[in-house]
A and B are shown apart, each in its own frame.
Chain A
Amino acid sequence: MARVVVDVMPKPEILDPQGKAVTGALDRLGFSGLTVRQGKRFEVEVDGEVTAARLAEIRDAAEKLLANTVIETFDVRLDQA
Chain B
Amino acid sequence: MADTVKNAARTLDQPQPWAELGLKEDEYLRIRDILGRRPTAAELAMYSVMWSEHCSYKSSKVHLRKFGELTQETPVGKMLAGIGENAGVIDVGQGYAVTFKVESHNHPSYVEPYQGAATGVGGIVRDILAMGARPVAVLDPLRFGPLDAPDTARVLPGVVAGVGGYGNCLGLPNVGGEVVFDPSYAGNPLVNALCVGVLRHEDLHLAKATGAGNLVILYGAATGGDGIGGVSVLASETFDAASDGSASGLGGPAKRPSVQVGDPFMEKLLIECTLEIFAARIVSGIQDLGGAGLSCATSELASAGDGGMHVNLDQVPLRDSTLSPEEILMSESQERMMAVVEPEHVEQFLRICAKWDVLATVIGEVTDGDRLTIDWHGETVVDVPPRTVAHDGPVYQRPYARPARQDRIQADGVDVLPRPVGGEELAATVLRLVASPNLCDKSWVTDQYDRYVRGNSVLAQPEDAGMLRIDPDTGLGVAVSTDGNGRFAYLDPYAGAQLSLAEAYRNVAVSGAQPVAITDCLNFGSPEDPDVMWQFSETVEGLVGGCRELGIPVTGGNVSFYNQTGETAILPTPVVGVLGVIDDVSHRTSVGFRRAGEEVFLLGDTRDELAGSVWADVVHAHLGGRPPVLDLDHERRLAELLVRGAGRGLFSSAHDLADGGLIQALVEASLRHGVGVRVDLGVADPFVALFSESTGRVVVSLPADRVPELIELAEAARVPVRRLGVTGDDVLEVEGQFTLPLSEIRAAWQAPIPAAMAAAGH
Contacts and interface: CB of A to CB of B under 8 A. Distances in A.
B626 to A, nearest CB: 43
Nearest to A15: B261
B258 to A, nearest CB: 9
A20 B264 CA distance: 13
Contacts of A12: 320
Nearest to A16: B261
Interface string A27-41: 000000000000000
Contacts of A24: 357
A13 B225 contact: yes
A15 B111 contact: no
Given A70-B111, A71-B115, A13 B257 contact: yes
Contact of B226 (A15, A20, A21, A68): A15
B261 A17 contact: yes
Contact of B320 (A13, A17, A21, A71): A13
Interface residues of B, number: 23
Contacts of B263: 15, 17, 20
B224 A71 contact: no
Most B Cβ at <10 Å: residue of A12, A15, A24: A15
A24 B266 CA distance: 12
B224 A13 contact: yes
A10 B225 CA distance: 13
Interface in A42-71: 68, 70-71
Contact of B257 (A14, A17, A20, A21): A14
A19 B221 CA distance: 14
A70 B226 contact: no
A11 interface: yes
B344 to A, nearest CB: 31
Nearest to B319: A15
A21 B617 CA distance: 49
B257 A71 contact: yes
B301 to A, nearest CB: 24
Interface in B100-116: 111-112, 115
A69 to B, nearest CB: 8
Contacts of B319: 13, 15
B225 A71 contact: no
A14 B226 contact: yes
A68 B261 contact: no
Contacts of B260: 15
B396 interface: no
Interface in B116-169: none
Nearest to B264: A17
A24 B265 CA distance: 13
Contact of A71 (B112, B265, B266): B112
30 contacts: A10-B261, A11-B257, A12-B320, A13-B224, A13-B225, A13-B254, A13-B256, A13-B257, A13-B319, A13-B320, A14-B224, A14-B257, A15-B221, A15-B224, A15-B226, A15-B260, A15-B261, A15-B262, A15-B334, A16-B261, A17-B262, A17-B265, A20-B263, A68-B112, A70-B111, A70-B112, A70-B244, A70-B257, A70-B259, A71-B261
Name the 6 nearest CB pairs between A and B, nearest first. A13-B225, A17-B263, A15-B261, A70-B112, A14-B261, A14-B226
Given A13-B224, A21-B265, A70-B257, 16 more contacts: A13-B225, A13-B226, A13-B256, A13-B319, A13-B320, A15-B260, A15-B262, A15-B263, A15-B319, A17-B262, A17-B263, A17-B265, A20-B263, A24-B357, A70-B112, A71-B261
Interface of B: 111-112, 115, 221, 224-226, 244, 254, 256-257, 259-263, 265-266, 319-320, 333-334, 357
